[in-house]
Amino acid sequence: MSGYQNRILRVNLTDRTFREESLSEELIHGYIGGRGFGAKWLYDDLKAKCDPLGEDNEVIFIAGPLAGTTAQSFARWKAIFKSPLTGGYFMSSGGGYFAPELKYAGFDAVIIRGKADRPVYVSINDGKYELRDASYLWGLGCDDTHILIREELRDPKVRMACIGPAGENGVKYAGIFSDRRAAGRGGGGAVMGAKNLKAVAVRGRKQIDLADQAAFSAAVKEQVSRCRAAPRFKSFSQTGTQTPEFTNLLGIFPTRNFRGGVLPNLEKMDGSVFNEIRVRNTSCHNCMVHCGSISKINQGKYKGSWSEGPEYETIWAFSGPMLCSDIGLTVAADRMCDNLGLDSISTGVTIGFAYELYEKGLITREDTEGLELTYGNDAPVLTLIRQIALCEGFGAVLAQGTREAARHIGKGSEQYAIHVKGLELPAYDPRGAKAHGLNYITLNLGADHCAGYAGQEIFGAPFKGKAVDRFAVEGKGEITKWNQDDKAIWNLGIMCNFATGYIDLELYGRLLAAATGRQEFADTNYLWLVGERVFNLERMFNVREGFGRKDDVFPERILKESMPDGHSAGHVFEAEPLLKDYYRVRGWDPKTGIPTADKLRALGLDFTMGA
Amino acid sequence: MSGYQNRILRVNLTDRTFREESLSEELIHGYIGGRGFGAKWLYDDLKAKCDPLGEDNEVIFIAGPLAGTTAQSFARWKAIFKSPLTGGYFMSSGGGYFAPELKYAGFDAVIIRGKADRPVYVSINDGKYELRDASYLWGLGCDDTHILIREELRDPKVRMACIGPAGENGVKYAGIFSDRRAAGRGGGGAVMGAKNLKAVAVRGRKQIDLADQAAFSAAVKEQVSRCRAAPRFKSFSQTGTQTPEFTNLLGIFPTRNFRGGVLPNLEKMDGSVFNEIRVRNTSCHNCMVHCGSISKINQGKYKGSWSEGPEYETIWAFSGPMLCSDIGLTVAADRMCDNLGLDSISTGVTIGFAYELYEKGLITREDTEGLELTYGNDAPVLTLIRQIALCEGFGAVLAQGTREAARHIGKGSEQYAIHVKGLELPAYDPRGAKAHGLNYITLNLGADHCAGYAGQEIFGAPFKGKAVDRFAVEGKGEITKWNQDDKAIWNLGIMCNFATGYIDLELYGRLLAAATGRQEFADTNYLWLVGERVFNLERMFNVREGFGRKDDVFPERILKESMPDGHSAGHVFEAEPLLKDYYRVRGWDPKTGIPTADKLRALGLDFTMGA
């Protein structure tokens, strides 16, 4: 078998057993790889309603069939699990060098269930594997964990996915980290922490066979030359996503807990400022985009702070929510989140939620133990990040995420918890980008921006050859479905979202087919079928958990408070007509939000019916 | 040429030039290597009275002729420079993997002078070298510096010697660090910082030729088997130096700024407690002793802290001086010193000096900005370490070392500055170990314990077949000279002090001769000649700077206040008779403390006469 290593490792931490499995023909044909495999495994393996922080949940680490090859931008990996933040299906994505190394170690995936009786980490080296003691690593940040595991294994080239104190302490939005690259969202770090699993460390020298080396090389060559020739490639490969002025101009840069859409003084942290503090670009394995960067603050009160990033979402998460515009804060907070093991988006939104409660008097200095959460005051932010990760002080409340924190605080604070299905909203206000918002509200993950990003609204990408009005309601069901299924397709590969713009499905299909020898993967219609299948399977996972139309909801604010400022002023999010259109296009029952039997049969998902 | 790479690299940071040199026959014959080369180069290169923090000072990094070979415990390197703390010759020693890697990179030594106009680091890779920008690394700790340089060079196997913020900020006792191994003493970090030199990074794959491979292998085999058979090898290789109870029992574990010699509650941090927090042993390159260890604190207020070490000196530095006995503090402080780039001995002694001044009212809470430096209160210690490294608050005063800090504070505080020649005393009170003290007072470095350690007094090692009375004055001149010259001999190799007990000069000479092809090195009489030569050359360096008998002095406390407690109670240090005896044995003028012309001629040091 080619492209794949045809080997997955199942680890049961409870009884400390390992089991190897190969990939079935049916799985490969029906789900291609990456997110497809993960969705199928999670659906098959998990009992309905299992505790996300219990033994029965799994964390599935997956590298795609193109990871570790010379094809560009396929180094991403997925962590797939039932989320403690949403209670539903979750897929979190990380970059760096972990996925290729997992392949070189001989595996396409590692599936971990159970719970160890004391802290452990999984070490995989060239096809061999073992559980190793991680007691001494418990409590340490992600940086130190990387250093000490590499030293213990006497191999500085070991790669790993690990958690920080946040994951150990059960912070609901704790992420999983690999060399400062985060699979941040959804609480995978908390799932690992609950399993007493500090890390999965991988290293190997195994080959990845290719079915048709000549065709593969030709396709890679074409990818590289298209990439070089693409109009926006050069600038994006320099700045990455460090251009928050983009969305601020559109009036969808959320401020004050999603009240406004324009940050004053954003010029203090626009692209030109990031250009000044950029030390160098960084990249994942075999990626010519190298969108990442090391940033270093050389003046002001955050002098000496540095991080890899911050990326757009993190720039926003520590500015808009608390009305700060100090580039130093974003860099320092980014690094703290990376090291303590926190999702920066949920961290920033949850802190911003607390700022609004403080303003409204729903919490006071007594609750915050003296911290003054007044807009524009950045002083409490790093303290709160630390308290959240360690579940200390007021941080213990915020560590539950906005939804649970609001339940805890009460007093009507629930209305200020800005999330979908428990997952905090990212840095695009849905009122000024309706398909983007429709994606947030319908996505199986909750409000995630990656898995259905509406580039048509944010960057003016055409849809079927036409420009899209970002405020319009009409036609957004089709666009949203397209965006979601499209992203599902790329997630099979697993290709980075920042590189899909320099390729197309046809060339992607050729890469997949040349690597794996599966000619059906070169058929773009087939890719669309599998993309839709995977998206619907994830939906059915959630349906089995009790999710439905009732969960495809935004907080009232997004629906009823019109945007007060900027170039999205006057708009709300028209959920009813948008959802109606979307369900129709999806072939889902408009009352329940559940895929119809016909739709499931058409997608080969009969097995989910009546579950 | 064998053993040596026969190549040294001279870097002038001012004009950014490099020059390669080979080793002369005279140098090799006369000085053998390591400390010998360094002493000769520093003597030849430096103008008298040059500013230690000016362009004319050098930092010389040296690997020994046996570094990188299969011989055990030769991975140490020397940093040799004129000290900003003492104003005299200094040699600091580090371990880890830097020395072998420097050899593999093609060089025996790197000699750096001048001053860069902005932060740089030197990168050496397989015989090639360059200066690289280090602006983005300025302000970062040693850990982050290691991470980012390795990432920048895209090679996780790069080794380096670097400084932290302490060195950048000119802390007089800032050290040089390589993977948490410190060449801590004497302020080499400040010398590098003054040169805008953040690091020297090395990597290579070059062979090290051996003159007589068969003889060398046989000698290594003998070394290994002797090591395994040695009575104390097994226990020492487990505990390393984490047995502070040893000296506490002797009553020479200095407390309250060298007033007492016994720490109450030492059982809270004796060897058995360290056994409990030891995660694993660590070692330098090719060293079966593996005396190092990772320690991790699992309870109490320092829970989660870890460090590599702490070694005996650091255990003491953050306990005895401030009358604390919290193992957590020693671990946390150790790690802070390693990361911020501070010598833990001088840091602890300087803080302990402040504790006494605070007790005596010579400084108050106003001076310390609210810190309460009362005995037994550990709360201010980590704060002070940070302030010292950053030269902030009261730390800016303490960053000058006890001698200069006392001058700054005045009010008679000079008498409480416990140093020799500006170098703070280590963890053995001279009043209960006279040869050990005589070494402190006469050593060219100032009060260093390594370069003339009196194992006869501390561990009961016999001298010339006889037991030694540690309190006796008689005969200590001869013992001290022997200890100093003996250490100088091992420092030519460069062998670790913790491994010389499992070998002897005869076998060491065989290793040197087999590696280098120099038969004279196998002659132990010749080794003694060179050891004495090097020690005297260092003395002449200091003489040229104006040092003499007047600088071979202890603070009054050591001379006049008799030890109040423990098994050294009632003793003082009898400097006059001890020094008289020592100068006689050394062949130095008893009035000036300067080597006589006859002595210099006998040692082949005529060139230093009249300098």
- pLDDT value of residue A1: 77
Residues from chain A contacting residue B152 (CB–CB below 8 Å):
280
Nearest-Cα distance to chain A for B278, in Å, is 9
Nearest CA in chain A to B278: A136
Pairing of strands A278-282, A292-296: antiparallel
Contact A187, A178 (CB under 8 A): no
Residue with tokens 């015989």: B127
Category of B58 on φ-ψ map: left (φ > 0), alpha (ψ -120 to 50) or beta:
beta
Sole residue written with tokens 């000058």: B400
Note every long-range contact of A572-577, with CB atoms under 8 Å and residues 24 or more positions apart, other chains counting: A572/A431, A573/A430, A573/A431, A573/A434, A573/A437, A574/A434, A574/A473, A575/A441, A577/A473
Q: Which residue in A462, A466, A446 sits closest to A454, CA to CA? A: A462
* Over residues B478-487, mean pLDDT: 98
Q: Is the pLDDT of residue B425 over 80?
A: yes
Q: From the list B135, B136, B279, which residue is nearest A136 (CB)?
A: B279
Which chain B residues are within 8 Å of A139, Cβ to Cβ? 303-304
How many beta-carbon pairs under 8 angstroms link A with B? 42
Give the chain A residue nearest B277 (alpha carbons): A136
Q: Please judge whether B296 and A136 are an interchain contact, meaning their C-beta atoms are less than 8 angstroms apart.
A: yes
Are the beta carbons of B144 and B155 closer than 8 angstroms?
no
> Within 13 Å, how many C-alpha atoms sit on residue A54's CB side?
8
Q: Which amino acid is at B430?
A: P
Q: A-chain residues within 8 Å CB-CB of B296?
A: 136
Spatial distance between the Cα atoms of A483 and A463, rounded to a whole number of angstroms: 10
Which residues on B lie below 8 Å from A160 (Cβ)? none
Best of B101, B132, B136 to substitute, by most chain A Cβ atoms within 10 angstroms, is B136
Q: DSSP state, A23?
A: P
For residue A279, list chain B residues with Cβ-Cβ distance below 8 A. 136
Tell me how far apart the alpha carbons of residues A179 and A125 are, in angstroms, rounded to a whole number.
Answer: 18
The Cα B67–Cα A6 span in angstroms is: 45
Residue B303 and residue A136: Cβ atoms within 8 Å?
no
Q: What is the mean pLDDT of residues B29-34?
A: 98
| Identity of the amino acid at A548 | G
Percentage of chain A modeled with pLDDT above 90: 99
* Angle subtended by helix axes B505-516 and B213-229, to nearest 10: 150
Other C-beta atoms closer than 10 Å to the C-beta of A249 total 13
- In the Cβ-directed half-sphere of B336, how many Cα atoms lie within 13 Å? 22
What is the residue whose two structure tokens read 């900027």? Answer: A566
Please give the backbone phi and psi of residue A468, each rounded to the nearest 5 degrees, phi first.
-115, 130
- What ipTM describes this predicted complex? 0.92
Pairing assessment for the beta strands B8-12 and B109-113 based on DSSP bridges: parallel
The answer to whether A139 contacts B282, with C-beta atoms less than 8 Å apart, is: no
* Residue B399 CA neighbour count, 13 Å, CB half: 25
Interface of B with A (CB under 8 A): 135-136, 139-140, 143-144, 147-148, 150-152, 156-157, 165, 279-280, 282, 294, 296, 298, 303-304, 306
Query: How would you class A271 by CB atoms within 10 Å of its CB: exposed for 0-12, middle for 13-18, buried for 19 or more?
Result: middle
Distance from CA of A47 to the nearest CA of B (A): 36
In this structure, how many other beta carbons lie within 10 angstroms of the beta carbon of residue A396? 16
A306–B157 CB contact, under 8 Å: no
Sign of CA dihedral A543, A546, A550, A551: negative
Residue B133: alpha-carbon gap to chain centroid: 29
Of A28, A288, A77, nearest in space to A175 by CA: A77
Nearest residue of B to residue A339, measured between CA atoms: B144
Cβ contact B344:B316 at 8 Å: no
| Side chain identity, residue B182 | A
Q: Which residues of chain A have a CB within 8 Å of the CB of B279?
A: 136
Amino acid of residue B205: R
At what angle are helices B476-493 and B575-586 packed, to 10 degrees? 60
Closest in B148, B165, B303 to A294, CB measured = B148
Residue from the list B136, B150, B294 with its beta carbon closest to the beta carbon of A136: B294
CA distances in angstroms from B369 to A276, B80, B364, B597, listed in the order given: 36, 37, 9, 54
Whether the per-residue pLDDT at B452 is higher than 80: the answer is: yes
What is the pLDDT at residue A611?
Answer: 61
Mean pLDDT score, A490-494:
98
Spatial distance between the Cα atoms of B267 and A223, rounded to a whole number of angstroms: 67
Query: Is B136 in contact with A279 (Cβ distance < 8 A)?
Result: yes
User: A280: which chain B residues are within 8 Å (Cβ-Cβ)?
Assistant: 136, 152
CA distances from B179 to B77, B158, B162 (A): 13, 11, 9
Distances (CA, A) of B170 to A132, B182, B190: 42, 17, 5
Mean pLDDT of A542-558: 98
Q: Half-sphere exposure of residue B368, counting CA atoms within 13 Å on the CB side?
A: 24
Residues 6+ apart with CB under 8 A from B134: B119, B120, B121, B196, B197, B198, B199
Q: What percent of chain B has a predicted confidence (pLDDT) above 70?
A: 100
**Mutation target among B294, B296, B340, B386 for the A interface, most CBs of A within 10 A:** B296
* C-alpha to C-alpha distance for A77 and A158, rounded to whole angstroms: 16
The predicted model gives B561-583 an average pLDDT of 98
Residue linked to tokens 């005297």: B536
Closest among A98, A54, A41, A60 to A193, alpha carbons compared:
A54
Range B494-520 average pLDDT:
97
Judged by CB atoms closer than 8 Å, whether chains meet at A139 and B279 is answered as no
Of A150, A156, A303, nearest to B139 by CB-CB distance is: A303
Instruction: Identify the pLDDT of residue B1.
Output: 77
Q: Which helix (H) or strand (E) holds B80?
A: strand B77-82
**Residues of A at the B interface, defined by Cβ within 8 angstroms:** 135-136, 139-140, 143-144, 147-148, 150-152, 156-157, 165, 279-280, 282, 294, 296, 298, 303-304, 306
Q: Which amino acid type is present at position B279?
A: V
Please check the confidence at residue B610 and state whether its pLDDT lies above 80: no
Residue A268: pLDDT over 70: yes
Residue type, A176: I
Indicate if the pLDDT at residue B611 is higher than 80.
no
DSSP assignment string, B216-272: HHHHHHHHHHHHHH-TTHHHHHHHTT--THHHHHHT-S-BTTTTBS--TTGGGGSHH
Q: Tokens 């062979």 map to which residue?
A: B207
Question: Can you tell me the mean pLDDT for B436-452?
Answer: 98
Predicted local confidence at residue B26, as pLDDT: 97
What is the secondary structure of A396-421 as a DSSP string? Answer: HHHTTHHHHHHHHH-TTGGGG--EET
Q: Please determine, for residue B352, whether its predicted confidence score (pLDDT) is greater than 80.
A: yes
Q: Do A139 and B303 touch (CB under 8 A)?
A: yes
State the average pLDDT over residues B122-149: 97
Residues whose CB is less than 8 angstroms from the CB of residue B43 and which lie 6 or more positions away in sequence, other chains included: B537, B540, B541, B544, B608
pLDDT computed for residue B269 by the predictor: 96
> Could you tell me the two tokens for A225?
């030359």
Residues of A within 8 A of B136 (CB-CB) are 279-280, 294, 296, 306
From the CA of B142, how many Å to the nearest CA of chain A?
13
Contacts of B150 in chain A (CB under 8 A): 156
Name every chain A residue with its beta carbon within 8 A of the beta carbon of B144.
Answer: 143, 306
Helix boundaries (H) for A188-252: 188-194, 213-229, 233-239, 245-250
Looking at A309-459, which runs of residues are DSSP E strands? Answer: 419-420, 423-424
Residue A610's pLDDT band (cuts 50, 70, 90): confident
Quote the distance between the C-alpha of residue A159 and its chain's center: 20
Take residue A504 and report the two structure tokens written for it: 């197309």
pLDDT at A325 over 80: yes
**Residues of chain A contacting B119 with CB distance shorter than 8 Å:** none
In the predicted model, what is the mean pLDDT of residues A548-571? 98
Give the pLDDT mean for A364-391. Answer: 98
Written as six digits, the tokens of A477 are: 């069901």
With vertex at residue A587, the alpha carbon angle to CA A586 and CA A589, rounded to the nearest 5 degrees, is 110
**Reading across the β-sheet that carries B278-282, which strands appear in turn?**
B278-282, B292-296, B306-308
> CA nearest A298 in B: which residue?
B136
Of the partner residues A136, A165, A280, the one whose CB lies closest to the CB of residue B152: A280
How far apart are the C-alpha atoms of B513 and B2, rounded to whole Å? 10
Chain B: give the shortest CA distance to residue A188, in Å: 22
Bridge partners, B419 (sequence order): B424
**Residues from chain A contacting residue B135 (CB–CB below 8 Å):** 298
* Helix ranges, B494-567 (H): 505-516, 524-544, 556-560
- pLDDT tens column, B320-343: 999 999 999 999 999 999 999 999
Contacts of residue B154, Cβ cutoff 8 Å, sequence gap at least 6: none
